[in-house]
Structure 1
Amino acid sequence: MNAMPPLGEPASEPVATAQPASDAGPPLASGAAEPSAPLSPTRETLHYALRNPKLLIGLAVVLVLLLTGLFGPLLLDGPDPNAYSGAQAVGPSGEHWFGTTTFGQDVFAQFVYGLRATFLVGVIGGGIAAVIAMLVGFFAGYRGGVLDEVLTMLTNIVLVIPSLAVLLIVNAYLGVRSVPVQGLFIGLTSWPWAARAIRAQTFSLRTRDFVDLARLSGSRTWKIIFREIAPNMSSYLFMTFILLFGGSILIASSLDFIGLGPTDSVSLGLMLQSAQQWSALQLGLWWWFVPPGVGITAVVGALYVANVGLDEVFNPKLRES
């Protein structure tokens, strides 16, 4: 047996005391990587964006169609998509990729020029509507009071007016119809719902601490709106523009289909209207109306799918699910 030390005398060897677990963790193995630092908000958003299939697929479809509309005319023989190609009502072939109409017009030539007009009217109409919606929504939501009541009343008036009926009347009595003019009138009539949504978001942000600090520092109203409030709504504003972009394309296609589209260019809606007018369905010329119909559906559908993907990227709750 081991001899015990006399009572009251210290042990010959000091006893080692255990260190708290919080003070000393387990040693790192040789070559082990240290825990990575948290990503910045921008890099974190990009990280999830590159891994969201809805966003990637939607943007890929839009990009392919956009490049087709921009560079497709370079593959054509001439600048006139309505020119006679030498063959009437022939199906798709190596010479005519999308076939020809009963008038001998190349459907592929009309399709690529129609894509260009479709994106142009979407940019113009959606851009104008987004600018008006942001101006009305920002100032109404931030200033409040009489200005808010006036702008809200104006928004409600435009909201209840049947915009499609107004566009029908304007286009019917307009002497020269073009894609920019069409986009202008679409933008002037499609902003109210976006303005109401932006107003609600601005109203919730105007009481935040960073806005109060900017107000106390003496910043002007427009500086507070565009330097403090707008950057915190950038993702929401971008998604709103996508919805306005797609909505402008649908409205323009509706006007084109009933014969109130541009008179100086070709669009996908006008292709559908021409195919319907000259009985392409009854004659079995499916290649005349299928490409423009698929093109409109693909552009608008891809935009909305990409918008859903952006919502999942910017919204942490949807991102985690």
Structure 2
Amino acid sequence: MGSRSELLYFAWRNTKVRVGALILALFVILAIVGPLFARHDPNAYVGPPAHPPSREYWLGTTTFGQDVYSQFVHGLRATFIVGLLGGGIGTLLGVCIGLLAGYRGGMVDEILNMFTNIVLILPTLAVLIIIAAYLTVRGILVESLFIGCTAWPWAARAIRAQTFSLRAREFVDLARMSGRSSWKIMFYEIAPNMLSYLFMTFILQFGGAVLIAATLDFIGLGPTQGISLGLMMNNAVLWAALPLGMWWWLIPPGAAITAIVGALYVMNVGLDEVFNPKLREL
């Protein structure tokens, strides 16, 4: 309990963690509460075309009279869903494969390491583009699954290396002598000793999932139904928002994606300083 309180104390004192967490919390609150204040359906034609921000339309309207604010807050929610699901799946696969390969070693390690290397050298974005292009109906869940299933190799390799160093410790030998199964040793003995590393891995997976989803959406291979920040940017570019002076259609989603991913990476650097006593801010 004391060590946990100590970590929280140093985490809050770390400027990078504090700034990143506050920015991320701001967007999380907006994604949760924002749609409650949206008076229009994000894809409905509700107002005059290309209307600038006003009291009635807080972020203006699109070329077709759609409410940009409604699209923004609903797209923000979709972005966090993809980040959580895609990042969660990628982290889970990386943890399971990395722990198994690092703990068992031998032939199991060689087979899993070969499989990891194969997936690692695949051009991930190209594979996602090909798969998405052949699906006539795509949703956020399908997109998250694709991202998670292709984003795990680097995490697996890193966790495998950590497991190699932990499996020779005395507490692992003691667990083996007590007759605990391999799965219990991996998930109840080894994994808890690298929780900080796993948490930072999830943050990076979250940010990566948001970026990949925004890329797919921006090139028109995102969800075929609904709205997302990447789709907003795709439509804004497609219909020449900036040349027409409609900055309110393109800049908010782009700035939000940049701020969210930037906040996650800044938090990750700060947490590295927190979990490593040698790097802590005094």
Q: The TM-score by the shorter chain falls in which range?
A: over 0.9
One-letter code of the match for 1:59? A
Q: CA deviation at 1:85?
A: 2.0
Runs of 4+ in 1 over 4 A off after TM superposition: none
| Matching residue of 1:74 | 36
Provide the TM-score with structure 1 as the length reference.
0.86
One-letter code of the match for 1:64? L
- Distance change in 2, residues 1:64/1:320 (3 Å): closer
How far apart are the structure 2 equivalents of 1:238 and 1:245?
A: 11
Q: Deviation per CA, 1:185-212: give whole Å up to 9, x if none.
A: 0000010000000000000000011111
| Matching residue of 1:138 | 99
Q: Which has the higher contact order (CA 8 A, sep 6+)?
A: 2
The unaligned stretches of length 5 or more in structure 2 are none
Is residue 57 of structure 1 aligned with residue 19 of structure 2?
A: yes
What is the SS of the residue equivalent to 1:81? coil
**Structure 1 segment 258-297 matched on structure 2, within 5 A:** 258-297=219-258
How far apart are the structure 2 equivalents of 1:189 and 1:305?
A: 24
What is the SS of the residue equivalent to 1:188? helix
- Would you say the 8 A contact 2:91–2:202 is kept in 1? yes
**Structure 1 segment 238-277 matched on structure 2, within 5 A:** 238-277=199-238
How far apart are the structure 2 equivalents of 1:75 and 1:187?
A: 32
> Which of 100, 110, 122 is 2:83 aligned to?
122
What is the SS of the residue equivalent to 1:152? helix
Q: CA deviation at 1:40?
A: 2.5
**Structure 1 segment 103-252 matched on structure 2, within 5 A:** 103-252=64-213
How far apart are the structure 2 equivalents of 1:88 and 1:228?
A: 60
What do you get for the CA RMSD once the two structures are aligned?
1.1
| Matching residue of 1:17 | none
How far apart are the structure 1 equivalents of 2:23 and 2:201?
A: 19
Q: CA deviation at 1:67?
A: 1.3
Q: Which structure dedicates a bigger proportion of its chain to helix?
A: 2
- Between Structure 1 and Structure 2, how many residues are aligned? 282
Larger Rg: 1
How far apart are the structure 1 equivalents of 2:88 and 2:9?
A: 28
How far apart are the structure 2 equivalents of 1:46 and 1:286?
A: 40
- Identical columns (%): 63
**Structure 1 segment 292-307 matched on structure 2, within 5 A:** 292-307=253-268
What is the SS of the residue equivalent to 1:183? helix
The unaligned stretches of length 5 or more in structure 1 are 1-38
| Matching residue of 1:10 | none
How far apart are the structure 2 equivalents of 1:301 and 1:320?
A: 21
What is the SS of the residue equivalent to 2:55? coil
What is the SS of the residue equivalent to 1:282? coil
